[in-house]
Structure 1
Amino acid sequence: MPAEASAPTPTPATPHTPKGTSDDSAISDAASETSEPFRTFVEDNLDALAAHPDREVLVHEDHRLTAGQFRALVYRMARAIAAQGVTRDATVTLLSGNLPETVAARYAANLVGCRVNHLYNKLSADVQAAIVQDVETQVLIVDPHYADRATEITDSAPVRHVLVLGESKREIGQDLLALAAEQPDEPFVSRARPDDICTIRHTGGTTGHPKGIVTTFEQVNRMRRMVDQARPAERELPRQLACTTLAHAAGMLADGVIQAGGTVVLHDDFDAGEVLATIERERITHLFLLPPLVYQLLDHSDSERRDLSSLLGLTYGGCQASPARIADAVRRFGPVLLQFYGQNEAGGISVLTPEDHDLDRPERMRSAGKVLPSVEVAIRDTDGRDLPVGELGEICIRSEGTMTGYWKQPELTAEVLRDGWLHTGDIGFLDDENYITVVDRLKDMIVVVGGHVYTTELEDLLNSHPKVLQSAVFGVRDADRMEQVHAAVVAAPGAPVEAEELRAAVRGQRGPMYEPAHITFVDALPLTDAGKPDKKLLRKRAEERA
């Protein structure tokens, strides 16, 4: 069923490939259809910072960067990168943690007109090297803490330039900060054009041939407008805590905070106790977490004693959430939770607002929110036919935020982009108020004798048990190539629970088809670099045990 207010029908996307070398002196003031100069989000953000140069914009440990300092650093970096002979349409890959200089380097590379790829740091060196090679990296920008890994990568995937964000314990390339210090800090005119690639973003945990999601500068502008429309009005300047990788959603949300004149506090990694302490100390107003990290925050003993009154918005998304656990979070943190459903391929799709997190309407919290006004959604069966309200099928979307395609994978692009519609690979349904509910990923759905087991439904049932904190459900094929239901369970502290007790609860509420054949108790669920439960790793462990 289409959304209530639909976006203009986009032209069917095609896979994006490099356009070849162009005159690097060309800048982005070529006239658009409306004869207005094209401006990238980087230019808009840097101009916004100029109004209040003394305002704190980025904080990392004891390092506090003002708007004026950050703006000057971006311009100096852009000149330093261009001085290396790097031209528009080159690929710059970031191998870096959550440093202020990481954000500056991304902005600088985009000003030069380069496409940026930010590696997930917890991928193996082999996978990272494959990505570096696949996207035709010309410049590798390295966090000094990852110098050893950079050597591993470049040994198998050589690049033309290695630039380091400061002094490194080993000689792997030139110091980009030192090079930038030699450059003037006057504004650098962007060389990017609307249809140039802004980002190539890879899915977490990719193995084999990398799957890079291509987004142009114009598409980034459109997606920012979509997010702005969905964002509630701010009562004060935002102070965001970025405690998940900037290569994922935290980086995109940080851009919005910078544009709004706010402050981004950077953590190297997620630690529930440190997050709670930082919210209190830095008066954090906004936070993005994947659902498993929300649960860790909720379960930490400090969540009851820390002053979290500054928190206005705890946004979660990126993977399925447990309604039972989200309800617990509402009780603990108050009416500040907001679910954002989207994909790198699709952009934003729907939002479940704080008002929708109504404890008296638990069915509403099982949804992923109301479809955004600028997005069309259709639920389709395996033959591509639209299904009526309430029926399960694949979620297909059409909007201006849809990706251009997968980097140099036309066959894969053609599989998911058909006639302008993106086939998300998610299974769900729409209700008569245009709220969308996601029940599983097509690839995660378990086919058993007698029907289908939707993993998120079983996870929600297990998580609702008083002796369970978290669970992850996945399918494993047996010797006869039939799928069996497996569950990894984190038990609640001080509440011993047996596998048979959980199986009996599942049988009683959902029937034997949903009963897990195997339940493994773990101290914590393994997570991907983005913070999602690592079901590939859990499945591999189960197969090894078998």
Structure 2
Amino acid sequence: MSTSADGVGRVSHVSHAGAVLAALGEDPGREALVHGERRFTAGEFRDLVHRLARALEGRGAGRGDGVTLLCGNAPETIAVRYAAHLLGCRITHLYGGLAAEAQAALVRDVETRFLVAGRGQEARAAELTALVPGLEVLALGSSAAGPDLLEPAARESAEPFTGRAGPEDICVVRHTGGTTGHPKAIRTTFAQLSLWYASLPGPRSPGDRLLVCTTLAHAVGLLTDAVLGSGGTVVLQEGFDAGAVLAAVERERITHLFLLPPMLYELLDHPAADRTDTSGLRAVLYGGCQASPARLADAVRRFGPVLVQFYGQNEAGGISVLTPEDHDPERPDRLRSAGRVLPGVEVAVRDPAGHDLPPGEHGEICVRSPQMMTGYWKRPELTAEVLRDGWVHTGDIGFLDDDGYLTIVDRLKDMIVVVGGHVYTTELEDLLNSHPGVSRSAVFGVLDEDRVERVHAAVVRAPGGGLTEREIRAWVRRRRGPMYEPARVTWLDTLPLTPTGKPDKILLRDQALTTARPDPGRHA
């Protein structure tokens, strides 16, 4: 991001989108995007963005308008995002997997003017227009959802479109947390998004090839910008499928991959993992939720020293990174950490009274950096609660060690208060995942009929395993004590995930309150 004076002395802002487009123009013949059988050169994609910007402007879109994307992982999704940013519009992505009513609440909340619907979204777009009167829908292709945006764009000029955004304009409104009640949304300026973009670890070299198999609405969207802006290629898949990911890594000679930890475990457990050529991988980036040290050690042994953990929050920006050199299978304590704090970022661990704690003591992680959010969208009270004295109070519990490594112990809301103390869910998950009979797990608290919180564990058995509830409870009790022993173990074939790929503990908690899956190996 930069600013410069134009020919009449006015200052124009070059957004991250403008910077990416300029880089695409430097080598227009290189392969920039792959989507199934379609392959786009940098020049073709750059032209598409400029044409779409003019087509959007022709529909009346302009600086400060809200544009919401109901789109999958396609080149046109990235192109329309860049086009809207050139116009100075603020973007919101709708996550898939949400009910229409939940998506409609988000559409209304961010004051959407234009809903852009990708291919296959006709039915959902119709539901949203029925729920949100006055919503104008534009389609990426011939569709019953609304007027086609691509057809008029094809008639527009591909000459560079001068960006209209100012550095302090709102660039992105991103929802986080639950989808019930009033949505919690974070507003990010164009200047801040450029800082986010600069803070992400790798990829930054021509020849990098990023595989996108998680939603572009998440962190991989920024990685996509980084690759396109540095001369690399982005290979797009519509969603995560472990077999398809492994096949693409080998076929497309993928160098960079972003996964959430549960997806990494699926990759490791897939039958094709051991016979797939993954030697081209230079970085497997992961984040978004806690990872199991035992499974990370498995990943290092399988893929080599390529793992990179990135810890950040939408509210705080990038916070810390655990490098490949830090991923030592013989150091589970180091694998449990989120790495060292990034340059330019301040981290303090504080007690409930706001006092800084010494290394090793658990407290709330507070962050201060130029990447911090300006606040929540239309939530001044919540902004004042989270953003205090220039620090973001993350809601994460953790500690700094003597070497400066940051370890996340739990979310404040996920910590289970039991008789005798606190159970940190991630600590118990790490322990469960280290058992040879366990493939993966999720731990959460459930209130019993006396309103006492009990520890519950949802567990996926390792292939061929016959572990029983009695065995796993006794094993936990021996290693961590009775306080950590689960009151109940639920056996699952797979863990349910949220639309962003994290274990869905809200759903698991609801299921625990209403159902009980019998364990044939449990004895009274």
- In 1, the alpha carbon distance for the partners of 2:10 and 2:461 equals 61
Instruction: Report if the CA contact (8 A) 1:120-1:204 is conserved.
Output: no
Aligned to 1:314: 284
1:416 — aligned with what? 386
8 Å Cα contact 1:121-1:529 kept in structure 2: yes
Question: 1:211 aligned to 2:187?
Answer: no
Deviations 1:277-329 (A, max 9, x none): 00000000000000000000001011100111111100000000001110011
CA contact (8 A) 2:117 2:145 kept: no
- 2:114 is aligned to 139
CA contact (8 A) 2:175 2:185 kept: yes
Q: Indicate if the aligned counterparts of 1:92 and 1:114 stay in contact, CA closer than 8 A.
A: yes
1:344 shift after superposition: 1.0
Give the secondary-structure state (helix, strand or coil) at the position aligned to 1:363: helix
1:348 has 2:321 as partner? no
Of 182, 194, 199, 1:226 maps to 199
Within 5 A, what are the aligned runs for 1:243-322?
A: 243-322=213-292
Shift of 1:401: 0.8
SS at match of 2:272: helix
Shift of 1:158: 2.7
Q: In the TM superposition, what is the alpha-carbon distance from 1:153 to its structure 2 partner?
A: 1.0
- 1:144 is paired with a residue whose SS is coil
Distance apart, 1:161 and its partner CA: 2.3
**Separation in 2, partners of 1:261, 1:204:** 34
d(CA) in 2 for partners of 1:30 and 1:126?
A: 46
Cα gap change, 1:159/1:247 in structure 2, threshold over 3 Å: closer, same or farther?
A: farther
What is the distance in 1 between the residues matched to 2:98 and 2:177? Answer: 8
Counterpart selection for 1:390 from 352, 357, 360: 360
Kept in 1, the 8 Å contact 2:52–2:153? The answer is yes
The 1-side partners of 2:477 and 2:55 are apart by 64
* Structure 2 residues not aligned, in runs of 5+: 517-524
**Aligned-pair CA distance for 1:173:** 1.0
Deviation, 1:466, is 0.5
Runs of 4+ in 1 over 3 A off after TM superposition: 28-31, 34-37, 230-234
Deviation by residue 1:387-443 (Cα, 9 ceiling, x = unmatched) = 111100000000011111110000111110001100000000001121100010000
From the superposition, tell whether residues 440 and 480 of structure 1 become closer, same or farther in structure 2 (CA, over 3 Å).
same
Shift of 1:544: 1.3
Partners of 1:507 and 1:474 in 2: CA distance: 17
Q: Report the Cα distance in structure 2 between the residues aligned to 1:159 and 1:387, rounded to whole angstroms.
A: 52
- Is residue 2:69 matched to residue 1:94? yes
Partner of 1:21: none
2:164: which partner in 1? 191
Residues 1:400 and 2:370 aligned together: yes
Is 1:367 the counterpart of 2:337? The answer is yes
1:447 corresponds to which letter in structure 2? V
Q: Structure 1 residues 73 and 144 mapped into 2: Cα distance closer, same or farther (>3 Å)? A: same
Q: Indicate the residue corresponding to 1:379 in structure 2.
A: 349
Q: How does 1:41-80 map to 2 (within 5 A)?
A: 41-80=16-55
Residue 250 of structure 1, CA deviation:
1.1
Shift, 1:454, TM fit: 0.2
Residue-by-residue CA offset, 1:18-39 (whole Å, 9 max, x unaligned): xxxxxxxxxx8679xx997421
Report the counterpart of residue 172 of structure 1 in structure 2.
145
**Aligned letter for 2:171?**
C
Q: Which residue of 2 aligns with 1:3?
A: none
Answer yes or no: is the 8 Å Cα contact 1:394–1:428 preserved in 2: yes
* SS of equivalent residue, structure 1 residue 391: coil
Q: Aligned equivalents of 1:379 and 1:289: distance in 2?
A: 28
Structure 1 CA distance for aligned equivalents of residues 179 and 256 of structure 2: 30
Aligned to 2:85: 110
1:429 match? 399
Q: Does 1:154 align with 2:94?
A: no
Per the alignment, residue 519 of structure 2 pairs with none
What do residues 197-242 of structure 1 show as CA deviations (whole Å, max 9, x unaligned)?
Answer: 0000111642221111100001111222222xx43775x5210000
Contact 2:204 / 2:227 at 8 angstroms: preserved in 1? no
Quote the offset at 1:502 in angstroms: 0.5
* Contact 1:123 1:205 (8 Å CA) reproduced: no
- Is the 1:475–1:483 contact (alpha carbons within 8 Å) kept by the matching residues of 2? yes
2 CA distance for matches of 1:508 and 1:245? 41
Q: Between the two structures, name the one with larger relative contact order (CA 8 Å, sep ≥ 6).
A: 1
State the alpha-carbon separation in 2 of the partners of residues 362 and 487 from structure 1: 22
Using the alignment, how far apart are the partners of 2:478 and 2:42 within structure 1?
58
Match of 2:522 in 1: none
- Hey, what's the Cα distance between the residues in 2 that align with 1:397 and 1:237? 34
Is the Cα contact below 8 Å between 1:477 and 1:483 reproduced in 2? yes
Change (3 A) 1:396 1:308: same
Q: Are 1:491 and 2:466 an aligned pair?
A: no
Q: Using structure 1 for the length normalisation, give the TM-score.
A: 0.92
Contact 1:258 1:264 in 2 (8 A): yes
Whether the aligned pair in 2 keeps the contact of 1:204 and 1:530 (CA below 8 Å) is no
- 1:38 paired with 2:9, answer no
Q: Which moved more, 1:158-167 or 1:187-196?
A: 158-167
Contact 1:30 1:38 in 2 (8 A): no
Other-structure match for 1:530? 500
CA-atom RMSD, angstroms? 1.5
Q: C-alpha deviations, 1:496-520, integer Å up to 9, x for none?
A: 1101111011100100000000000
Contact persistence 1:242–1:250 (CA under 8 A): yes
- Cα offset, 1:381, TM superposition: 0.7
- Deviation of 1:172 after TM superposition, in Å, equals 2.4
Q: Count residues with an aligned counterpart.
A: 512
Distance in 2 (alpha carbons) for counterparts of 1:494 and 1:183: 59
Q: Deviations over 1:482-538 (max 9, x none)?
A: 100000000011111101111011100100000000000000000011110000000
Return the match for 1:473 from 425, 433, 443. Answer: 443
Aligned position for 2:97:
122
Distance 2:75 2:50 in 1: 14
SS in structure 2 at match of 1:174: coil
C-alpha separation between the residues in 2 aligned to 1:272 and 1:361? Answer: 27
Q: Percent of aligned pairs with the same residue?
A: 63
